């Protein structure tokens, strides 16, 4: 069945995740959450530290350590009609390299310090688009321009540590965009940056989201950041979705006391 315009790109159904401790005890990180992300829309997942936001994103990417995690039998993460929780390795690899891309809080945790920026972007685009080196270099240059990095020719030859934190995050965004994903998961992408740089990165993400019509799962602990970027907000606490709705609904008529408390914490 081909999905229609209104059907979600990703449907998370009853996702329950537990971690097994060293003594065999189980702690529950997600208590059976449900979430839909629609094509071309931005869903902000907001909640305090430890609420289960990153576990949700790692579950979508199938990056939770299998020997330490227990996912309930009836949990589903449907990407269109495919259940990612049951997908084979080759299918997952295909999805991660092209349909779904991810950026994290710390760009240096994903960038390799001993390879140049150019080499790393080229590798990502060569994998995704099966380009030769020459075409991949041209594409890498184009991507650096697209994410607003000054002197892209020069930056291509730089090592990650020679760039500022904001520029490193722009490189990560370039690599993600280079995969032409239909879903971008951004897990606290601005948390490690200075406030002014935070704004610029958020603006860049919003611009690229519109231009490429990507769906974005924007994860943040800061409800103050989502207003201009998100279409919908899901508020998470202690492994549960407490409330979800349009930005306007959540900001103007929050129903849950926790959402109200979060709104009061905004600067």
Token digits of residue 211: 């231009």
For the sheet with 215-220, list strands across it: 100-103, 183-187, 215-220, 42-46, 232-237, 240-246
The phi, psi pair for 86, rounded to 5°, reads -115, 5
Q: Is the distance from CB of 164 to CB of 186 less than 8 angstroms?
A: no
**47 lines the binding site for ligand ADP (CB under 6 A):** yes
Beta carbons within 8 Å of 23's beta carbon, 6+ residues apart: none
Q: Which of 9, 33, 55, 174: binder of ligand ADP (CB under 6 A)?
A: 55
Angle at 78 between CA 220 and CA 221, to 5 degrees: 5
**54 lines the binding site for Mg ion (CB under 5 A):** yes
Q: Which of 33, 43, 44, 51: binder of ligand ADP (CB under 6 A)?
A: 51
**120 lines the binding site for Mg ion (CB under 5 A):** no
**19 lines the binding site for ligand ADP (CB under 6 A):** yes
Q: Which does 51 bind (CB under 5 to 8 A by kind): Mg ion, ligand ADP, none?
A: ligand ADP
**Chain centre distance of CA 42:** 11
**Number of separate helices (H) and strands (E) present in the chain:** 9, 11
**246 lines the binding site for ligand ADP (CB under 6 A):** no
**189 lines the binding site for ligand ADP (CB under 6 A):** no
Total binding residues toward ligand ADP, as defined by CB under 6 A: 11
Region of 42-50, 204-212, 223-231, 245-253 interacting with ligand ADP (CB under 6 A): 42-50
Token digits of residue 72: 């309930």
**105 lines the binding site for ligand ADP (CB under 6 A):** no
Q: How far is the CB of 49 from ligand ADP (least distance, A)?
A: 4
**190 lines the binding site for Mg ion (CB under 5 A):** no
Residues near Mg ion, by CB under 5 A: 53-54
By the criterion CB under 6 A, which residues form the site for ligand ADP?
19, 29, 47, 49-55, 68
């Amino acid at each position: 069945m081909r999905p229609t315009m209104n059907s979600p790109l990703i449907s998370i159904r009853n996702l329950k995740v537990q971690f097994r401790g060293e003594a065999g005890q189980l702690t529950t990180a997600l208590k059976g959450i449900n979430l839909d992300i629609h094509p071309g829309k931005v869903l902000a997942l907001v909640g305090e530290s430890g609420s289960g936001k990153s576990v949700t994103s790692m579950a979508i990417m199938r990056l939770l350590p299998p020997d330490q995690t227990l996912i309930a039998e009836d949990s589903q993460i449907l990407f269109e009609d495919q259940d990612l929780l049951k997908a084979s390795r080759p299918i997952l690899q295909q999805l991660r390299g092209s349909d779904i891309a991810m950026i994290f809080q710390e760009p240096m945790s994903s960038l390799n310090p001993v390879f140049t920026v150019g080499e790393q972007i080229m590798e990502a685009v060569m994998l995704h688009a099966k380009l030769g080196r020459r075409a991949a270099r041209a594409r890498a240059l184009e991507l650096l321009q697209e994410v607003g990095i000054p002197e892209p020719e020069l930056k291509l030859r730089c090592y990650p540590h020679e760039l500022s934190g904001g520029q490193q995050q722009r490189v990560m965004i370039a690599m993600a965009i280079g995969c032409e994903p239909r879903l971008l998961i951004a897990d606290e992408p601005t948390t490690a940056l200075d406030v002014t740089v935070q704004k610029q990165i958020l603006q860049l993400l919003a611009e690229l989201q519109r231009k490429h019509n990507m769906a974005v799962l924007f994860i943040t602990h800061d409800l103050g950041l989502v207003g201009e970027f998100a279409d919908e907000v899901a508020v998470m606490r202690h492994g549960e979705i407490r409330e979800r709705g349009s930005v306007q609904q959540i900001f103007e008529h929050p129903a849950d006391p926790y959402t109200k408390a979060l709104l009061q914490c905004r600067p």
